[in-house]
């Protein structure tokens, strides 16, 4: 008798639980506010006078490939340091489909770092 081999589908080890502590990050040096919308899809940067510097949907604007789910939402949103040689301050984000990267605080440009 041959043993039965189960070929299951890997879903994810990543927990979908929301880890966002706040929907607004404030740069204490410049006073710029980085606001994550209520749908957890877009982020915008607003200065002290209320002027919008940039607004981005990192997944859509950068044409990230569909991975595990059709429309990922941001579940991790904090200040961090990018992985370039300059080691600039950035905004680290992760999606509920395990894709992750960081946003340049000045331009809103997203740098995709990978997926689990």
What pTM did the predictor assign?
0.79
Q: Which domains does the chain have, with CATH numbers?
A: 24-115 (2.40.10.480)
> CB count, 10 Å around CB of 43?
23
- Return per-residue pLDDT of the chain as tens, 116 residues: 555 554 444 444 444 555 556 799 999 999 999 999 999 999 999 999 999 999 999 999 989 888 998 999 999 999 998 877 778 899 999 999 999 999 999 999 999 998 88
CA distance 91 to 3: 50
How would you write the chain as a 3-class SS string? CCCCCCCCCCCCCCCCCCCCCCCEEECCCCCCEEEECCCCCCEEEECCCCCEEEEECHHHHCCCCCECECCCCEEEEEEEECCCCCCCEEEEEEECCCEEEEEECCCCCEEEEEEC
């Amino acid at each position: 008798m041959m043993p039965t081999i189960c070929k299951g589908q890997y879903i994810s080890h990543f927990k979908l639980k929301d880890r966002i502590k706040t929907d607004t990050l404030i740069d204490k040096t410049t006073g710029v506010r980085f606001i994550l919308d209520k749908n957890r899809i877009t982020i915008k940067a607003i200065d002290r006078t209320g002027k919008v510097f940039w607004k981005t949907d990192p997944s859509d604007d950068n044409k990230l490939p569909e991975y595990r789910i059709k429309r990922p939402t941001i579940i991790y949103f904090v200040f961090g340091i990018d992985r370039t040689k300059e080691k600039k301050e950035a905004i680290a984000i992760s999606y509920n489909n395990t894709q992750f990267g960081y946003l340049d605080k000045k331009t809103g440009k997203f740098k995709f770092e990978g997926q689990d």
